[in-house]
Homo-oligomer: A and B are copies of this chain.
C-alpha cells in the first residue's frame, strides 16, 4: 500500500498568505512533518500526528516522511515560504534519489507558497519588478567562493537580488563579507532593503543606501533585497517610501 506525500509551503507567517490548496492538504493529512516552528503553525486536530524536528536535519526528516508515506500515511512536509526556494522540496528529492526503489512509487506533489522574498518585495513596493536573482548566503552547503562569484555576476548582469539566510549566530561574519563585495562593485547609493519577519507581528522593513548598510542589520529572520542600478525610491509625507524597479531598460 502506497500513501501520499505533499510538500507544502506555509508562506512567510500570516494566515492570509496560506493558499487554499495548502489548507486542504493539511486538512486531509494524517501526519505533518517539519522544523519545529513551522509544524507549530499547523492547528492540532484529532487524527493528525505532528512530527517536529530541529533545523539542519532535512535529510533525516525527508526519509522519515517518505517512509511514512510508503506505509500508506498521508504525509505533509511543511516549509515556511515556498518549499521549492531554499526549503524542503530539494531535500526530499535528494532523499528519494538516494533511497529505496519503492520511494519512487510514492505519489509526491509540491504545493507552492508565498516565499519570503516576494512577500518582502510586496511590502517594500516592487524592487523585484524587473530581472532579478536569488542567492542563499549561507555557506553551510556551498563554499564562500561560489557565493562571491555569484554576487559579482549578479551585479555585472545588473540584476536586483533577493538574499536568503544572510546571517546566523554560527556564521556572524559572512554577511560582512557580502557587504564588502557589494560595496566594491555597486555605487554607494544603491538601495538595499532589510525585511525582518515579514508578515508577522515582529515585521520590520527598512530601505537604505548600501553605503549605510552594516552586518548587524540582518539576522536569520531577515531577507535582504538589493536593488539593481535602476531601482528607485518614492518618498511620501507620512507614509512609508515605495521602492521599485522600473520595467524598462533604455537603449
Task: Answer whether residue A52 sits at the interface, using C-beta atoms and an 8 A cutoff.
Answer: no
Task: Answer whether residue A239 sits at the interface, using C-beta atoms and an 8 A cutoff.
Answer: yes
Pairwise interchain contact B94-A246, C-beta atoms closer than 8 A: yes
Q: Give Cα A214–Cα B96 distance, bound, in whole angstroms.
A: 31
Task: Answer whether residue A123 sits at the interface, using C-beta atoms and an 8 A cutoff.
Answer: yes
Residues 9-23 of chain A, each 1 if its beta carbon lies under 8 Å from chain B, else 0: 001001111111100
A131 CB, min distance to chain B CBs, angstroms: 5
Pairwise interchain contact B17-A126, C-beta atoms closer than 8 A: no
Task: Answer whether residue A45 sits at the interface, using C-beta atoms and an 8 A cutoff.
Answer: no
Task: Answer whether residue A51 sits at the interface, using C-beta atoms and an 8 A cutoff.
Answer: no
The listed residue (B19, B91, B97) touching A232 by CB distance below 8 A is: B97
* Given A19-B114, A154-B153, A242 contacting B129 (CB threshold 8 A): no
Residues 221-251 of chain A, each 1 if its beta carbon lies under 8 Å from chain B, else 0: 0000000000010101101001011111101
A17 CB, min distance to chain B CBs, angstroms: 5
The listed residue (B105, B112, B129, B246) touching A114 by CB distance below 8 A is: B112
Pairwise interchain contact A93-B130, C-beta atoms closer than 8 A: no
Q: List 15 A-B contacts (CB under 8 A).
A: A18-B19, A19-B19, A85-B118, A87-B129, A89-B244, A97-B234, A104-B236, A105-B236, A133-B154, A143-B251, A150-B157, A150-B158, A150-B159, A153-B154, A153-B157
- Which residues of A are in contact with B by a Cβ distance under 8 Å? 11, 14-21, 24, 58, 82-87, 89-91, 93-94, 96-97, 104-105, 107-115, 118-119, 121-123, 125-136, 141-143, 146, 149-150, 153-154, 156-159, 232, 234, 236-237, 239, 242, 244-249, 251
